[in-house]
Amino acid sequence: MVWGRKRDVIGLDIGSSSIKMVELKEGKNGFKLQSLAMSPLPPEAIVDGALMDSVTIIDTIRELINISKSRTRNAVIAVSGHSVIVKKITLPFMTEAELEESIQWEAERYIPFDINDVNIDFQILGYGSENPDLMDVILVAAKKDIIHDYVSVVMESGLNPVIVDVDAFALENMLEANYEKEGEEAVAIANVGASVTNINILRKNITAFTRDVFKGGNQITEEIQRQFHVDYEEAEKVKVGSKMDTLSQETVQNVLKTASESLAVEIGSSLDYFQSTSTSDKISKLYLSGGGAKLKDLNMILQQQIEVPVEIVNPFKKVEYSEKSFDLEYLREIGPMMAVAVGLATRKVGDK
Protein backbone atom coordinates (compact mmCIF):
# COMPACT_ATOMS: atom_id res chain seq x y z
CA MET A 1 0.00 0.00 0.00
CA VAL A 2 1.52 3.32 -1.05
CA TRP A 3 -0.17 6.68 -0.58
CA GLY A 4 1.23 9.79 -2.23
CA ARG A 5 3.88 9.89 -4.92
CA LYS A 6 6.89 11.02 -2.94
CA ARG A 7 9.42 8.37 -2.06
CA ASP A 8 10.65 10.11 1.10
CA VAL A 9 9.69 8.57 4.42
CA ILE A 10 9.77 9.28 8.14
CA GLY A 11 11.18 6.54 10.38
CA LEU A 12 8.72 6.28 13.28
CA ASP A 13 9.82 4.11 16.22
CA ILE A 14 6.88 3.61 18.60
CA GLY A 15 8.62 2.29 21.72
CA SER A 16 7.07 1.48 25.08
CA SER A 17 8.69 4.44 26.84
CA SER A 18 8.99 6.99 24.01
CA ILE A 19 8.27 7.65 20.35
CA LYS A 20 11.14 8.62 18.07
CA MET A 21 10.90 10.19 14.61
CA VAL A 22 13.73 10.59 12.08
CA GLU A 23 13.74 11.83 8.49
CA LEU A 24 16.76 11.28 6.24
CA LYS A 25 17.40 12.31 2.67
CA GLU A 26 19.56 10.07 0.51
CA GLY A 27 22.23 11.79 -1.56
CA LYS A 28 25.26 10.68 -3.58
CA ASN A 29 27.42 10.28 -0.49
CA GLY A 30 24.92 8.67 1.85
CA PHE A 31 22.22 10.07 4.08
CA LYS A 32 21.59 13.59 5.37
CA LEU A 33 19.54 14.30 8.49
CA GLN A 34 16.45 16.36 7.67
CA SER A 35 14.56 16.30 10.95
CA LEU A 36 14.27 14.39 14.19
CA ALA A 37 12.16 14.50 17.34
CA MET A 38 11.52 12.36 20.40
CA SER A 39 8.83 12.43 23.08
CA PRO A 40 8.28 10.23 26.17
CA LEU A 41 5.16 8.13 26.71
CA PRO A 42 3.51 7.46 30.09
CA PRO A 43 4.44 4.04 31.56
CA GLU A 44 1.12 2.29 30.80
CA ALA A 45 0.54 3.59 27.24
CA ILE A 46 2.11 0.45 25.69
CA VAL A 47 2.31 -2.82 27.60
CA ASP A 48 4.03 -5.89 26.09
CA GLY A 49 3.79 -4.32 22.65
CA ALA A 50 0.01 -3.82 22.92
CA LEU A 51 -1.28 -0.25 22.53
CA MET A 52 -3.27 0.45 25.71
CA ASP A 53 -3.75 4.21 25.32
CA SER A 54 -4.18 5.01 21.63
CA VAL A 55 -5.30 8.60 22.26
CA THR A 56 -2.04 9.53 24.02
CA ILE A 57 0.02 7.75 21.33
CA ILE A 58 -1.81 9.61 18.52
CA ASP A 59 -1.40 12.95 20.33
CA THR A 60 2.32 12.26 20.84
CA ILE A 61 2.88 11.44 17.14
CA ARG A 62 1.02 14.63 16.12
CA GLU A 63 3.18 16.62 18.54
CA LEU A 64 6.34 15.10 17.00
CA ILE A 65 5.17 16.01 13.49
CA ASN A 66 4.77 19.63 14.67
CA ILE A 67 8.14 19.70 16.48
CA SER A 68 10.02 18.18 13.55
CA LYS A 69 8.27 20.49 11.02
CA SER A 70 8.54 17.61 8.55
CA ARG A 71 6.23 17.80 5.54
CA THR A 72 6.75 14.14 4.69
CA ARG A 73 3.67 12.06 5.44
CA ASN A 74 4.83 8.55 4.45
CA ALA A 75 5.96 6.66 7.55
CA VAL A 76 7.87 3.43 8.12
CA ILE A 77 7.07 1.73 11.43
CA ALA A 78 8.30 -1.44 13.14
CA VAL A 79 7.01 -4.12 15.49
CA SER A 80 8.79 -6.53 17.84
CA GLY A 81 8.10 -8.64 20.91
CA HIS A 82 5.72 -11.53 21.60
CA SER A 83 3.61 -10.89 18.49
CA VAL A 84 6.49 -11.22 16.04
CA ILE A 85 8.40 -14.36 15.10
CA VAL A 86 11.62 -14.18 13.08
CA LYS A 87 13.11 -17.57 12.22
CA LYS A 88 15.90 -18.72 9.97
CA ILE A 89 14.78 -21.90 8.24
CA THR A 90 16.33 -24.21 5.65
CA LEU A 91 14.13 -25.30 2.74
CA PRO A 92 14.58 -27.33 -0.43
CA PHE A 93 15.90 -25.21 -3.30
CA MET A 94 13.15 -23.29 -5.13
CA THR A 95 12.67 -19.99 -6.92
CA GLU A 96 11.31 -16.91 -5.15
CA ALA A 97 8.04 -17.29 -7.09
CA GLU A 98 7.70 -20.92 -5.96
CA LEU A 99 8.39 -19.95 -2.36
CA GLU A 100 5.78 -17.18 -2.62
CA GLU A 101 3.28 -19.92 -3.53
CA SER A 102 4.22 -22.33 -0.73
CA ILE A 103 5.26 -20.00 2.10
CA GLN A 104 1.95 -20.29 4.00
CA TRP A 105 2.29 -24.07 4.13
CA GLU A 106 5.99 -23.95 5.04
CA ALA A 107 5.35 -21.34 7.73
CA GLU A 108 2.73 -23.44 9.51
CA ARG A 109 5.45 -25.84 10.63
CA TYR A 110 7.47 -23.11 12.33
CA ILE A 111 4.98 -20.62 13.73
CA PRO A 112 3.14 -21.14 17.04
CA PHE A 113 0.21 -18.89 15.99
CA ASP A 114 -2.80 -19.73 13.84
CA ILE A 115 -1.58 -19.07 10.29
CA ASN A 116 -4.77 -17.06 9.54
CA ASP A 117 -3.93 -14.61 12.36
CA VAL A 118 -0.54 -13.54 11.01
CA ASN A 119 1.01 -11.66 8.11
CA ILE A 120 3.95 -13.57 6.65
CA ASP A 121 7.01 -12.35 4.78
CA PHE A 122 10.33 -13.92 3.88
CA GLN A 123 13.77 -13.15 2.56
CA ILE A 124 15.98 -15.68 0.80
CA LEU A 125 19.44 -15.44 2.38
CA GLY A 126 21.36 -17.58 -0.03
CA TYR A 127 21.24 -20.60 -2.25
CA GLY A 128 23.14 -23.74 -1.47
CA SER A 129 26.16 -22.45 0.41
CA GLU A 130 26.61 -25.82 2.13
CA ASN A 131 24.30 -27.96 0.03
CA PRO A 132 23.16 -26.94 -3.48
CA ASP A 133 19.76 -28.62 -2.93
CA LEU A 134 18.90 -26.39 0.05
CA MET A 135 18.51 -22.70 0.75
CA ASP A 136 18.40 -20.51 3.85
CA VAL A 137 15.37 -18.30 4.34
CA ILE A 138 14.45 -15.75 7.00
CA LEU A 139 10.77 -16.19 7.82
CA VAL A 140 8.87 -13.37 9.52
CA ALA A 141 5.37 -13.64 10.97
CA ALA A 142 3.60 -10.80 12.75
CA LYS A 143 0.14 -10.92 14.30
CA LYS A 144 -2.42 -9.09 12.16
CA ASP A 145 -4.21 -7.50 15.12
CA ILE A 146 -1.01 -5.85 16.43
CA ILE A 147 -0.10 -4.58 12.93
CA HIS A 148 -3.66 -3.27 12.54
CA ASP A 149 -3.43 -1.38 15.88
CA TYR A 150 -0.08 0.25 14.99
CA VAL A 151 -1.22 1.15 11.46
CA SER A 152 -4.47 2.65 12.85
CA VAL A 153 -2.76 5.02 15.33
CA VAL A 154 -0.28 6.14 12.67
CA MET A 155 -3.09 6.86 10.18
CA GLU A 156 -5.16 8.67 12.82
CA SER A 157 -2.19 10.90 13.58
CA GLY A 158 -2.12 12.02 9.95
CA LEU A 159 0.67 9.84 8.52
CA ASN A 160 0.58 7.15 5.83
CA PRO A 161 2.17 3.88 7.05
CA VAL A 162 3.82 2.60 3.85
CA ILE A 163 6.04 -0.12 5.35
CA VAL A 164 5.77 -2.21 8.53
CA ASP A 165 9.25 -3.48 9.40
CA VAL A 166 10.71 -5.44 12.31
CA ASP A 167 13.01 -3.77 14.88
CA ALA A 168 15.80 -6.30 14.23
CA PHE A 169 15.89 -5.50 10.49
CA ALA A 170 15.77 -1.75 11.15
CA LEU A 171 18.90 -2.17 13.30
CA GLU A 172 20.55 -4.10 10.45
CA ASN A 173 19.83 -1.18 8.06
CA MET A 174 21.12 1.37 10.59
CA LEU A 175 24.43 -0.52 10.94
CA GLU A 176 24.79 -0.89 7.18
CA ALA A 177 24.34 2.88 6.70
CA ASN A 178 26.94 3.80 9.34
CA TYR A 179 29.55 1.06 9.81
CA GLU A 180 31.98 -0.77 7.56
CA LYS A 181 31.42 -4.48 7.02
CA GLU A 182 33.37 -6.67 9.44
CA GLY A 183 34.48 -9.06 6.70
CA GLU A 184 33.58 -12.68 7.30
CA GLU A 185 33.06 -12.38 11.04
CA ALA A 186 29.63 -12.09 12.63
CA VAL A 187 28.66 -8.99 14.60
CA ALA A 188 25.80 -8.59 17.07
CA ILE A 189 23.64 -5.67 18.10
CA ALA A 190 21.63 -5.53 21.33
CA ASN A 191 18.96 -2.84 21.36
CA VAL A 192 18.04 -2.42 25.04
CA GLY A 193 14.59 -0.83 25.13
CA ALA A 194 12.33 -0.16 28.10
CA SER A 195 10.60 -3.53 28.10
CA VAL A 196 12.28 -5.57 25.34
CA THR A 197 15.89 -6.10 24.28
CA ASN A 198 16.20 -6.96 20.58
CA ILE A 199 19.25 -9.07 19.80
CA ASN A 200 20.33 -9.37 16.19
CA ILE A 201 23.37 -11.25 14.87
CA LEU A 202 24.58 -10.37 11.40
CA ARG A 203 26.79 -12.37 9.11
CA LYS A 204 28.07 -10.46 6.05
CA ASN A 205 25.65 -7.67 7.00
CA ILE A 206 22.62 -9.98 6.77
CA THR A 207 20.58 -11.16 9.75
CA ALA A 208 21.56 -14.69 10.73
CA PHE A 209 19.79 -14.84 14.11
CA THR A 210 17.37 -12.68 16.08
CA ARG A 211 15.84 -12.99 19.52
CA ASP A 212 13.74 -10.66 21.67
CA VAL A 213 14.53 -10.87 25.39
CA PHE A 214 11.76 -9.56 27.63
CA LYS A 215 14.05 -7.58 29.88
CA GLY A 216 14.97 -3.93 29.57
CA GLY A 217 15.26 -0.61 31.33
CA ASN A 218 11.83 -0.89 33.01
CA GLN A 219 12.99 -3.75 35.26
CA ILE A 220 15.76 -1.49 36.55
CA THR A 221 13.34 1.40 37.13
CA GLU A 222 10.98 -0.92 39.03
CA GLU A 223 13.83 -2.20 41.18
CA ILE A 224 14.80 1.38 42.11
CA GLN A 225 11.13 2.14 42.92
CA ARG A 226 11.03 -0.91 45.20
CA GLN A 227 14.30 -0.22 46.97
CA PHE A 228 13.80 3.50 47.54
CA HIS A 229 9.99 3.82 47.63
CA VAL A 230 9.94 6.52 44.95
CA ASP A 231 7.54 6.97 42.02
CA TYR A 232 8.28 6.08 38.38
CA GLU A 233 9.50 9.57 37.37
CA GLU A 234 11.89 9.79 40.34
CA ALA A 235 13.20 6.28 39.67
CA GLU A 236 13.87 7.15 36.01
CA LYS A 237 15.95 10.16 37.12
CA VAL A 238 17.92 7.98 39.54
CA LYS A 239 18.50 5.38 36.81
CA VAL A 240 20.15 7.84 34.44
CA GLY A 241 22.13 9.43 37.26
CA SER A 242 20.44 12.83 37.29
CA LYS A 243 19.06 12.50 40.83
CA MET A 244 21.14 11.01 43.60
CA ASP A 245 21.14 13.71 46.28
CA THR A 246 19.04 12.11 49.03
CA LEU A 247 19.69 8.47 48.17
CA SER A 248 22.63 6.34 49.12
CA GLN A 249 25.01 6.45 46.17
CA GLU A 250 26.36 3.01 47.02
CA THR A 251 22.93 1.34 47.14
CA VAL A 252 21.95 2.92 43.82
CA GLN A 253 25.19 1.70 42.22
CA ASN A 254 24.53 -1.82 43.55
CA VAL A 255 20.98 -1.88 42.14
CA LEU A 256 22.22 -0.68 38.74
CA LYS A 257 25.12 -3.13 38.74
CA THR A 258 22.93 -6.14 39.65
CA ALA A 259 20.35 -5.22 37.00
CA SER A 260 23.03 -4.66 34.35
CA GLU A 261 24.65 -8.02 35.18
CA SER A 262 21.31 -9.80 34.86
CA LEU A 263 20.76 -8.21 31.43
CA ALA A 264 24.33 -9.03 30.38
CA VAL A 265 23.75 -12.71 31.25
CA GLU A 266 20.59 -12.79 29.07
CA ILE A 267 22.38 -11.19 26.11
CA GLY A 268 25.41 -13.45 26.64
CA SER A 269 23.29 -16.62 26.64
CA SER A 270 21.68 -15.61 23.30
CA LEU A 271 25.12 -15.10 21.75
CA ASP A 272 26.31 -18.42 23.20
CA TYR A 273 23.27 -20.19 21.75
CA PHE A 274 23.98 -18.76 18.29
CA GLN A 275 27.66 -19.73 18.45
CA SER A 276 26.81 -23.26 19.63
CA THR A 277 24.49 -23.78 16.63
CA SER A 278 26.88 -22.24 14.13
CA THR A 279 30.28 -23.87 14.36
CA SER A 280 32.09 -21.53 11.98
CA ASP A 281 30.88 -18.18 13.32
CA LYS A 282 32.71 -16.24 15.98
CA ILE A 283 31.11 -12.96 17.05
CA SER A 284 33.76 -10.25 16.69
CA LYS A 285 31.88 -7.27 18.16
CA LEU A 286 28.67 -6.31 19.97
CA TYR A 287 27.03 -2.96 19.28
CA LEU A 288 24.81 -1.60 22.03
CA SER A 289 21.81 0.64 21.32
CA GLY A 290 18.50 1.71 22.86
CA GLY A 291 17.87 3.76 25.99
CA GLY A 292 19.48 1.01 28.08
CA ALA A 293 22.81 1.61 26.32
CA LYS A 294 23.09 4.75 28.44
CA LEU A 295 23.03 2.75 31.69
CA LYS A 296 26.22 3.42 33.59
CA ASP A 297 28.87 0.74 32.93
CA LEU A 298 26.48 -1.63 31.09
CA ASN A 299 28.92 -1.72 28.15
CA MET A 300 31.83 -2.65 30.48
CA ILE A 301 29.78 -5.29 32.35
CA LEU A 302 28.67 -6.77 29.01
CA GLN A 303 32.22 -6.84 27.69
CA GLN A 304 33.36 -8.82 30.76
CA GLN A 305 30.37 -11.17 30.45
CA ILE A 306 30.69 -12.03 26.75
CA GLU A 307 34.44 -11.45 26.27
CA VAL A 308 33.81 -9.59 23.01
CA PRO A 309 34.48 -5.86 22.37
CA VAL A 310 31.32 -3.77 23.03
CA GLU A 311 30.70 -0.43 21.33
CA ILE A 312 27.81 1.96 21.99
CA VAL A 313 26.27 2.59 18.61
CA ASN A 314 26.18 5.98 16.90
CA PRO A 315 23.36 5.87 14.30
CA PHE A 316 24.48 9.30 12.97
CA LYS A 317 28.11 8.22 12.48
CA LYS A 318 28.04 8.61 8.67
CA VAL A 319 24.91 10.74 8.44
CA GLU A 320 25.51 14.33 7.32
CA TYR A 321 23.69 17.09 9.18
CA SER A 322 23.58 20.86 9.32
CA GLU A 323 25.36 22.21 12.40
CA LYS A 324 22.98 25.18 12.32
CA SER A 325 19.96 22.88 12.70
CA PHE A 326 21.33 20.09 14.93
CA ASP A 327 23.53 20.18 18.01
CA LEU A 328 26.35 17.61 17.96
CA GLU A 329 26.17 17.05 21.73
CA TYR A 330 22.43 16.45 21.56
CA LEU A 331 22.84 13.94 18.71
CA ARG A 332 25.48 12.11 20.77
CA GLU A 333 23.25 12.15 23.82
CA ILE A 334 20.15 10.70 22.12
CA GLY A 335 22.00 8.63 19.48
CA PRO A 336 21.63 5.15 21.04
CA MET A 337 17.86 5.68 21.45
CA MET A 338 17.41 6.68 17.79
CA ALA A 339 18.97 3.52 16.30
CA VAL A 340 15.69 1.84 15.21
CA ALA A 341 14.17 5.11 13.92
CA VAL A 342 17.30 5.81 11.82
CA GLY A 343 17.16 2.28 10.38
CA LEU A 344 13.48 2.77 9.47
CA ALA A 345 14.25 6.14 7.89
CA THR A 346 16.71 4.51 5.44
CA ARG A 347 13.81 2.72 3.72
CA LYS A 348 11.95 4.05 0.68
CA VAL A 349 8.36 3.95 -0.50
CA GLY A 350 8.01 0.86 -2.65
CA ASP A 351 10.70 -1.19 -0.83
CA LYS A 352 9.74 -4.83 -0.46
Measured between alpha carbons, how far is 136 from 122 in angstroms, rounded to an integer?
10
Q: Which regions of the chain are under pLDDT 50?
A: 1-5
Report the 10 Å Cβ neighbour count for 350: 9
- Which amino acid type is present at position 190? A
Q: What is the pLDDT of residue 6?
A: 57
Q: What is the pLDDT of residue 88?
A: 86
Torsion of CA 63, 290, 346, 352, to 10 degrees: -100
Instruction: Tell me which of 3.40.50.10490, 3.30.420.40, 3.40.366.10, 1.10.357.10 is the CATH number of domain 180-313.
Output: 3.30.420.40
Q: What is the pLDDT of residue 302?
A: 93
Is residue 229 helix, strand or coil?
A: coil
Q: What is the pLDDT of residue 3?
A: 41
Q: What is the pLDDT of residue 352?
A: 58
Helices (H), the chain: 54-68, 96-108, 144-156, 167-178, 217-228, 232-239, 249-277, 298-306, 328-334, 339-345
Q: What is the pLDDT of residue 220?
A: 86
1-83+146-179+317-352 topology per CATH: Nucleotidyltransferase; domain 5 (3.30.420)
Q: Where are the domains of the chain?
A: 1-83+146-179+317-352, 180-313
Phi, psi (degrees; rounded to nearest 5) at 78: -140, 155
User: Residue 148 burial by CB count (10 A; 0-12/13-18/19+): exposed, middle or buried?
Assistant: exposed
Identical fold, 1-83+146-179+317-352 and 180-313: yes
Report the 10 Å Cβ neighbour count for 304: 12
Q: What is the pLDDT of residue 55?
A: 97
Measured between alpha carbons, how far is 107 from 129 in angstroms, rounded to an integer?
22
